[in-house]
Structure 1
Amino acid sequence: MKSFFRQFFPSHRKMPRKPRRRLQLENQYSSIYAVGDVHGCLDQLLRLEEKIVADAAERDGDKLIVMLGDYIDRGPSSSAVLDHLTAPPPPGFQRICLAGNHDQMFVDFYDAPSIHSDWLGLGGDETLASYGVYLDDDLHPLRTQIKTLVPIDHIGFLRDLPSMVTLGAFCFAHAGIDPRRSLDNQDDEVLLTSRPHEFEWESYSGQYTVIHGHTPVKEVRLGSRVNLDLKVYESGRLAALRIKEDGMTVLLSD
């Protein structure tokens, strides 16, 4: 019935959004690990995190994990992924989590639930089910279920995520950037929802290496723009990029 209604009714009206924070930090870390789109796949995240911890064990100094967004939807364990990310990072690590477009859609839905939301067909059904929220055609019980079963700290976490972080010569954003603009002049819509083919990356000669996810690829290729989204909910592989002074290396969960 839900899919029938979505054919004829538009998705819920988007509420005005407050611009997300941007972080600019000094690169004081001995190692940085960027992690691609998790999409509710907790098992792969935990395996990859174990590999990151083991990889960094012999290096002194501060270490950082940068999560590139889209923690929810499509996979089976969205609520558990958010439980994990709202808990402390592994000992010896700091962790920065960036916003993805799916994270924003969940916040929008929480603020204005609708059985006609496009988000439900993009993995939102699976996210709600991970909290024990199941849809029917009655909106009022849906509102009550969401407010009762979805922890407010999960929504607060997603609502407060920054959209971009720069660390030394590296820029991290969920979907990438508009290479024609300076980093001070990037729109959240681009940082969360753009696709690489919208821009001429072949001629990019900016001062930053751009690390992102959002657009699925079969393999991670190193260069001035690195895409870490391996579509983990289908491939079973979650990717991380280790960044050190001597270069970049890809780590995989499996």
Structure 2
Amino acid sequence: MGLFGKLFQGRSAPAAFSTPPNTRAYAIGDVHGRLDLLSELLTKIDKDRQQRPTSRDYTIFLGDLIDRGPQSAEVIDYLLRARSTLNQPIFLAGNHEEMLLRILRHDGRQLAEWLNYGGRQCVESYGIDAAALLHISPEAAQQRLRAAIPAAHLDFIASFADSFRLGDYLFVHAGIRPGIAVEEQTIADLHWIREDFLDSPARYPFMVIHGHTISSGPDEQHNRIGIDTGAYSSGILTALCIEGTERRYITT
């Protein structure tokens, strides 16, 4: 059992979760192909930074940058160009990035499932007729996708991390499996878990910040905060700003 597994069993959460001294983090929920909302939110974050200077800050994307919304390709291209100007950018992988890479690298037979799950909008943003992909072999579909999606985009997506720890906060896409050490969490749980995490009363030695599960507003619980506000359909993209023991929200 690793250190965090022991902490799950033997230590309660701190009275007040905190970032390291003089450190701020902006965590951004599921973008899902809404470049319009992302650019608006980043502008608001930049304004917030100017009004509240700090020594060090991070911009953390919680995954699911692609699918469902109309501009997956544009979102990836925008962030590829913007990452050199973002403060300490951290990109986490979501289940939708996982599905795209799995189809391209391993199993093209899952293509139809992915297209129905939001992938259709993604492939169309790269100029591909999604319906036509279903009338060719999985191998041919993979080749067509690889030809249309720039290698730089795929390399960027493949570089995404699965979790990030900052002070008393753990950032992941979907959540964690209670009772399992952080270093022993499976990729499947970090990217896909729902009820076993969402419904758990477990107290951790950190606050978990996650996306993946849509709520009408920030979902604050004693052990987790969910900030997926369904941007692709609601028009609301949410960022959680954490600094010291203070938390506040910035939204579109």
TM-score band (shorter)? 0.7 to 0.9
Provide the C-alpha distance between the structure 1 equivalents of 2:66 and 2:232, rounded to a whole number of angstroms: 11
The answer as to 2:239 corresponding to 1:216 is no
1:124 is aligned to 2:133: no
Give me the whole-angstrom Cα distance separating, in 1, the residues matched to 2:237 and 2:197: 26
Deviations 1:10-44 (A, max 9, x none): xxxxxxxxxxxxxxxx9476310000000001100
- Structure 2 distance, partners of 1:200, 1:114, is 31
Q: For 1:71 and 1:92, locate their aligned partners in 2 and report how far apart those are by CA, in whole Å.
A: 16
Could you say which structure has the greater relative contact order, defined with CA pairs below 8 angstroms and 6 or more residues apart? 2
Please report the TM-score for the alignment, with normalisation by the length of structure 2: 0.83
* Equivalent position to 1:44, from 37, 40, 54: 37
* Higher normalized helix content (fraction of residues): 2
Taking the aligned partners of 1:200 and 1:154, their CA distance within structure 2 comes to 32
Distance 1:199 1:70, change over 3 A: closer
Partner of 1:160: 159
Secondary structure at 2:209 match in 1: strand
- Offset of 1:185 from its aligned partner? 1.9
Structure 1 unmatched runs, 5+ = 1-25
Q: Where in structure 2 are the equivalents of 1:57-206 lying within 5 Å?
A: 57=50, 58-89=52-83, 91=85, 93-111=87-105, 112-114=107-109, 116-135=111-130, 136=132, 137-139=135-137, 142-195=141-194, 197-199=195-197, 201=199, 203-206=201-204
The AA in structure 2 aligned to 1:180 is: G
Q: What is the DSSP-based 3-state SS (H/G/I as helix, E as strand, rest coil) of the residue aligned with 2:54? A: coil
Per-residue deviation, residues 79-120 of structure 1 (Å, max 9, x unmatched): 011112222337461100000000000111222434853101
Which stretch of structure 1 is more off in the superposition, 70-79 or 117-126?
A: 117-126
SS at match of 1:212: strand
Which stretch of structure 1 is more off in the superposition, 226-235 or 90-99?
A: 90-99
Determine the C-alpha separation between the residues in 1 that align with 2:136 and 2:86: 48
Whole-angstrom distance in 2 between the partners of 1:173 and 1:116: 25
- State the SS of the aligned residue for 2:88: strand
SS in 2 for 1:157: helix
- CA deviation vs aligned residue, 1:121-174 (integer Å, no higher than 9, x gap): 011111000000113212365344322210011111222211111111100000
- For 1:245 and 1:123, locate their aligned partners in 2 and report how far apart those are by CA, in whole Å: 37
Aligned to 1:35: 28
Mean Cα deviation higher: 225-234 or 139-148: 139-148
> How far 1:194 moved relative to its partner?
0.2
Unaligned runs of 5+ in 2: 1-18
Contact (CA 8 Å) 1:32, 1:244: kept in 2 or not?
A: yes
Please tell me the residue identity of whatever aligns with 2:179.
Answer: R
Cα distance in 1 for partners of 2:197, 2:66 equals 27
Residue 227 of structure 2: aligned partner: 228
Confirm or deny that 1:238 pairs with 2:237: yes
* Identity across matched positions, percent: 31
Aligned residues: 227
C-alpha contact (below 8 Å) 1:109/1:117 kept by paired residues: no
Amino acid at match of 2:120: D
Distance 2:198 2:121 in 1: 35
CA distance in 2, matches of 1:213, 1:200: 11
CA shift in 2, pair 1:83/1:27, >3 Å: farther
